[in-house]
Amino acid sequence: LSSSSLTSSCSSSQVSALSPPNFTQHVSEQSKVTDRVSRRLIRIYQLYSRTSGKHVQVLPNKKINAMAEDGDAHAKLIVETDTFGSRVRIRGAETGFYICMNKRGKLIGKVSPGRDCIFTEIVLENNYTALRNARYEGWYMAFTRRGRPRKGSRTRQHQREVHFMKRLPRGQQPAHPRSWETRTLNRHTLSELRCVTFCTYTQRSQSIFVLGTFSNRVCF
């Protein structure tokens, strides 16, 4: 065999020996590192506790519990993304304190967030969300039936105490695109509809299709 054929055979064997990239491992590793470059995604919602039937709140004395009613000022939470994955930091909109977990597994409020203030959002099969602490693996945010925080060392993902539901604050509704089917048909709107229908019909006869727009200018 010539040297060129040997080189090509060696290179082909090296390429075939290379294993495909493990994207799952890459995402898992990158999710553990704080992203300081990308723009942070900020959401505002309430956390409804499955056990207490109330909402998580951050009080001015830095205490955390799940005793707030729907729409309570201290139940409004600001959630900031930490990575491109599902790791977030949660702070009270009213107090500005971050929800953190100390080495004893107790939930506390802090002004400056550290790694103990980062939680991983886990969507469960029952559509509830569990929040696992990033520093203390296997420890979850949890509350008792009375709304008192439960130690992270005593929590497991299958327990009801760690199950939460995200809810918009009272009075805040999701933005939906405005469609003509849901508009109130008053006399002015009906005249516009007639105008569009007539104009679209006449222009279709000339093989010109006009997308509906509620403006009298369509007719001229």
Reference 113, options 142, 73, 79; nearest CA is 79
In this structure, what CATH number is given to the domain that contains residue 96?
2.80.10.50
Containing domain of residue 187, as a range?
183-219
CB 138 within 8 A of CB 130: no
Pairwise CA distance, residues 71 & 199, whole Å: 48
Pairwise CA distance, residues 164 & 218, whole Å: 50
Residues 74 and 141 occupy one common structural domain: yes
> 40-97: per-residue pLDDT in tens?
689 999 999 999 999 999 999 999 999 999 999 999 999 999 876 689 999 999 999 9
Residues 198 and 161 occupy one common structural domain: no
> 163-178: per-residue pLDDT in tens?
999 999 887 766 554 4
Q: Residue 7 pLDDT more than 90?
A: no
Reference 86, options 10, 146, 31; nearest CA is 31
> 141-195: per-residue pLDDT in tens?
999 999 999 999 999 999 999 999 999 988 776 655 444 444 444 444 444 444 4
What end-to-end distance do the CA atoms of the chain give, in Å? Answer: 82
**pTM (two decimals):** 0.65
CB 80 within 8 A of CB 89: yes
Determine how many CB atoms are found less than 10 A away from the CB of residue 68.
23
Residues 151 and 55 occupy one common structural domain: yes
Pairwise CA distance, residues 115 & 152, whole Å: 15
Count how many domains the chain has: 2
Residues 162 and 128 occupy one common structural domain: yes
- Could you tell me if residue 148 is inside a domain? yes
* Strand partners for 109: 99
